[in-house]
Amino acid sequence: MAGLQCSKKLWQTVYDPEPVEEPLPGTVKGMGIEVGIKARLLWPGGVLIDTPHDDYAEAIRRTNALIADSTVPAIFEAALVHDGLLIRVDALERLPDRRWRLNEVKSSTRIKDEHLEELALQTYVIAGNGLELADVHLVFISDKYVRDEEIDCNTLFCREDVSEDIIDLLSEVPERIASMHGVLCSTEAPDIRPSRHCFQPHDCEFWERCTSHKPKDFPYPAYLDRRLR
């Protein structure tokens, strides 16, 4: 997803990342984690792949074991790899007809283009592992939800079938992955000028690094000036 925003961001994320900090409660990342954990209650009996974040081999092994276990209704953080792309699925749901449902959980209150792009990538990898998907769902927060004493997850979350929305995106995935692999084969980060893409769809964590050599009167677009203020 970093590569879809900027090739330079992709290269730096892999080879020269910013220091990893534990997301604080109340921050965007912190709330996203909390929402993802709460959403697991939508699939009672689901099993979490809770391996260390960098132990990909063990995560993939456990995922394959759970896929083979027909008693497991859903797999949280399922790890699958295809065409050099590793994904972690929020909730890979087993359906009665032996097919699967891909569920991606977002703390947003609406469907965004980048959500569909991410689901297209995940669908490509899942299909590449020989699993048949019945449909693809985006799970997000209902902006009409009113909390009572206890949180009701069934009304807190909306579940939208976006299978039709990602069909056209799927044809672009193999070429995009190949292009990103090409970027990562380079020994240096691509030379890309900071611009509007640095804040779309997310604020880039490398902004200060990429602009540190620019003069103070560098003519940033007015859009960036507003964001910086």
Question: Considering only CA atoms, which of 114, 131, 51 is closest in space to residue 88?
Answer: 51
- Predicted confidence at residue 54, as pLDDT, reads 86
Please give, one letter per residue, the 3-state secondary structure of 7-60. HHHHHHHHHCCCCCCCCCCCCHHHHHHHHHHHHHHHCCCCEECCCCCCCHHHHH
Whether 185 and 198 share a structural domain: no
Whether 115 and 170 share a structural domain: yes
Whether 142 and 213 share a structural domain: no
Whether 150 and 218 share a structural domain: no
- Rounded distance between C-alpha atoms, residue 86 and residue 14, angstroms: 13
Whether 206 and 176 share a structural domain: no
Whether 90 and 145 share a structural domain: yes
Whether residue 146 contacts residue 176, with contact meaning beta carbons closer than 8 Å, is answered with no
Query: Rounded to whole angstroms, what are the CA distances from 124 to 43, 48, 53, 109, 129?
Result: 23, 22, 22, 25, 9
Task: Name the percent of the chain lying above pLDDT 90.
Answer: 70
Residue-wise pLDDT for 135-173, tens only, equals 999 999 998 888 877 887 888 999 999 999 999 999 999
**Top-confidence residue, 223 or 16:** 16
The region of weakest confidence among 52-56, 69-73, 88-92, 136-140 is 52-56
Overall number of domains in the chain: 2
Q: Which residues pair with 135 in a beta bridge?
A: 101
The residue written with tokens 């690094």 in the block is: 209
Whether 186 and 225 share a structural domain: no
Whether 132 and 218 share a structural domain: no
Whether 57 and 17 share a structural domain: yes
- Rounded distance between C-alpha atoms, residue 133 and residue 102, angstroms: 7
> How many Cα atoms sit within 13 Å of 167 on the Cβ side?
5
pLDDT higher than 50, residue 229: no
Give the structural domain span for 206: 193-229
> Mind giving me the DSSP string for 85-121?
EEEEEEEEEEPTTS-EEEEEE-SSSS--HHHHHHHHH
Whether residue 54 contacts residue 86, with contact meaning beta carbons closer than 8 Å, is answered with no
Whether 129 and 19 share a structural domain: yes
- Rounded distance between C-alpha atoms, residue 105 and residue 142, angstroms: 12
Whether 24 and 76 share a structural domain: yes
Whether 172 and 114 share a structural domain: yes
- Looking at residue 182, which CATH number applies to its domain? 3.90.320
Q: How many CB atoms lie within 10 A of CB 10?
A: 20
Question: Does the N-terminal peptide bond of residue 201 adopt cis geometry, omega within 30 degrees of 0?
Answer: yes
Q: Over the chain, what is the mean pLDDT?
A: 90
